[in-house]
Chain A
C-alpha cells in the first residue's frame, strides 16, 4: 500500500501538458492541490458521485487531450453506474484513478464497501473497461504515471493507499472561478 501524498506526487511528477484533471470531493482534492494548484485542475467540492461523469463530458468534448479523473473509493461507490456509462462510451482519452483506502476519511473514517466485499477494479472490468490496473507499490505507481501521457483506451486504476490523514491543502472553493479558468486553460 502507498501513502497518499507521496503517491499523488509520484503520479503527477511528470504531468503531461495535455493532461487535465477532475478531482473528486474531499481528501483527493487536497491531494491533487498539494502537488501545486493548476488551471487544468477542476476540483469538485461537492457533487459526490459525479467525478467520472464530469470527466467523461470533458473527454468527449476535448478528444485531443487526456483526462484523468482522480477520486476516492466512497465517491466512486456513490456513482458506480458511471463506470457502466463510461465503459459503453469507450472514451480513449479518459482515465479513472481511484485512491482506495477503504474508508470515508472526511466523516470519521467509517469503513466503505471496499473494506467489505467490493472490488472496484473487478467492477470496472465487469462493466467493460478493458484496461484496468491494480496499483499497490512504487513500481506500479511509476507505470501508471508513465501511462498518463500515453494511454489510448479507457483506463481504470485502483491505487491502494494507507488510511492516513495528511494536513489539508485547500484550493479555491469558488466554483465559477474554477470553471472559468479551466475553460480558458483548454481553450473552450
Chain B
C-alpha cells in the first residue's frame, strides 16, 4: 500500500472533526478499525458500539433532535439491517451520514457477502440516501467533505461507500 492508500481513515476522521461530529455509532468492521480507534480516542466524540446497524440510524435521529451531529459506521451487510429505520430519516428529514465499508465485490473471498454487497447502491437509492462510491484514496477527503456538507446543509441522508478496492484485499486465513 502506498502512503496515500493507508491514510484515508485519518482523512475521514479529519472530515468528521471538521464537521463537528459528536456521536459516532458503529458496528465493528475490520475496514473501519482505524477510524473507530480515532473516534474512541477523541474526548469530544461519543463512540457508541451497536448491536445492529439500525440502532445507529435511530441514534443519529436522536443526536440531531438534541442538537448534535453524528456519523454511522458499518459494513455493507449492515445497510440491509437499516432499511425500515431509514423511513425515520426520510419522514422527518433528518440529516444522516453513513460510512460503509464494502464487501461482496472486488477480491471478495466469501460468496455470502455478495448477495447484500451487490444491492447496497440500489437499496440506498430507493431509501433516498445519496451514495458516493470511493475507489481511490486521493478522492476520499474531498468527496467525504462535500457529502457531509450536503447532509447537514440540507437535511439529506448520505452514504460514503468505501470500496473493497480502496480498503484493500482482506487477508483470508484458513
Q: Which residues of A line the B interface, CB within 8 A?
A: 22, 42, 44-62, 79, 81-82, 84-85, 88-89, 175-176, 178-179, 182-183, 186-188
Contacts and interface: CB of A to CB of B under 8 A. Distances in A.
Nearest to B94: A179
B67 A81 contact: no
B87 A61 contact: no
A51 B46 CA distance: 19
Nearest to A55: B62
B143 interface: no
B52 interface: yes
A57 B63 contact: yes
B91 A175 contact: yes
B75 interface: no
B: interface residue count bin: 20 to 34
Given A47-B87, A186-B67, A56 B61 contact: no
Nearest to A81: B51
Nearest to A127: B51
Given A79-B55, A81-B50, 4 more contacts: A46-B87, A54-B65, A58-B66, A183-B64
Contacts of B66: 57-62, 186, 188
Interface string B27-67: 00000000000000000001011111011111111111111
B52 A56 contact: no
B103 interface: no
A41 B4 CA distance: 47
B164 interface: no
Given A47-B84, A56-B48, A60-B46, A179 B92 contact: yes
